[in-house]
Amino acid sequence: MADGSDSEEPWPDNEEKFYNDAKEYWSSINPTVDGMLGGFEKISPTDINGSKAFLRPFLKVGKGTTNNHRALDCGSGIGRITKRLLLPMFDTVDMVEQCQKFLDSARGFIGEQSSRVDQLICSGLQDFTPEEGRYDVIWSQWVLGHLTDEHLVNFFKRCKKGLAPNGIMIVKDNVSGSSETQFDDIDSSFTRSKDSYVRAMMNAGMTILKEEKQKGFPKGLYSVWMFALK
């Protein structure tokens, strides 16, 4: 999350190592909000408020066309976004997360509303296929850097098929300050340029409905952009 653009990180040797290193990193992280946010728990309220303001106009409750029946939280961790953003706005939420330890902590963290969390799916996004036509909103935040370029495009294609009529996908992620993709060998993730994300979305046949920069984060962090796709 912090902008480490001045450092030169070694690029992954191969795809298997790239995914295994990320899995090992996250398995070492405590199942807390601070753990999910890499020590930046303090930004969570600003993050959630920005997401809510971006999403609401697309929903019928905000005079848009998208239903609020079922959402999917991609790379959900313990359910910070599920609890604070999606459950207050949707009837039911599914969560997909590759670290079983985080899913095991999710219902306890979410609390009394956890009965409205339906499926807890343990999977990396490179291996996950949403059920066709199931979701009004697919939310993906701070996780797509853990996919290779090819897997990113294919994941977008699968998500497009997973959307219900008038459904949308929201991508919210770090964006590098240059035109180049940066690699972090600590958590084995890419930070892509905004153009790189847009290219992947276009290559997957997605239409960008809206894009907006998250405001109010501390200096020294990567810029964070939100995209609404269909």
HEC states along the chain? CECCCCCCCCCCCCHHHHHHHHHHHHHCCCCCHHHHCCCCHHHHHHHHHHHHHHHHHHEHHHCCCECCCEEEEECCCCCHHHHHHHCCCCCEEEEEECCHHHHHHHHHHHHHHHHHEEEEEECCHHHCCCCCCCEEEEEEECCHHHCCHHHHHHHHHHHHHHEEEEEEEEEEEEECCCCCCEEECCCCEEECCHHHHHHHHHHCCCCEEEEEECCCCCCCECEEEEEEEC
Question: Would residue 190 count as lying in a domain?
Answer: yes
Question: Would residue 26 count as lying in a domain?
Answer: yes
Question: Would residue 201 count as lying in a domain?
Answer: yes
Whether 190 has a pLDDT exceeding 70, the answer reads: yes
Question: Would residue 71 count as lying in a domain?
Answer: yes
Please check if 141 is assigned to a binding site. yes
Q: CATH no. for residue 49?
A: 3.40.50.150
- What does the pLDDT read at residue 6? 45
Please check if 80 is assigned to a binding site. yes
- In this structure, of 4-8, 86-90, 107-111, the range with the lowest mean pLDDT score is 4-8
What average pLDDT score do residues 99-117 get?
Answer: 98
What average pLDDT score do residues 95-99 get?
Answer: 98
Question: Would residue 69 count as lying in a domain?
Answer: yes
Q: How confident is the model at residue 13 (pLDDT cuts 50, 70, 90)?
A: confident
What average pLDDT score do residues 30-51 get?
Answer: 96
Per the structure, the complete domain to which residue 173 belongs is given by: 15-229
Whether 75 has a pLDDT exceeding 50, the answer reads: yes
Question: Would residue 132 count as lying in a domain?
Answer: yes
What average pLDDT score do residues 134-145 get?
Answer: 98
Please check if 70 is assigned to a binding site. no
Question: Would residue 8 count as lying in a domain?
Answer: no
Please check if 126 is assigned to a binding site. yes
Please check if 119 is assigned to a binding site. no
Q: How confident is the model at residue 3 (pLDDT cuts 50, 70, 90)?
A: low
Whether 7 has a pLDDT exceeding 50, the answer reads: no
What average pLDDT score do residues 10-21 get?
Answer: 87
Whether 215 has a pLDDT exceeding 90, the answer reads: yes
Looking at the structure of the chain, the number of domains it has is 1
Question: Would residue 165 count as lying in a domain?
Answer: yes
What average pLDDT score do residues 159-181 get?
Answer: 95
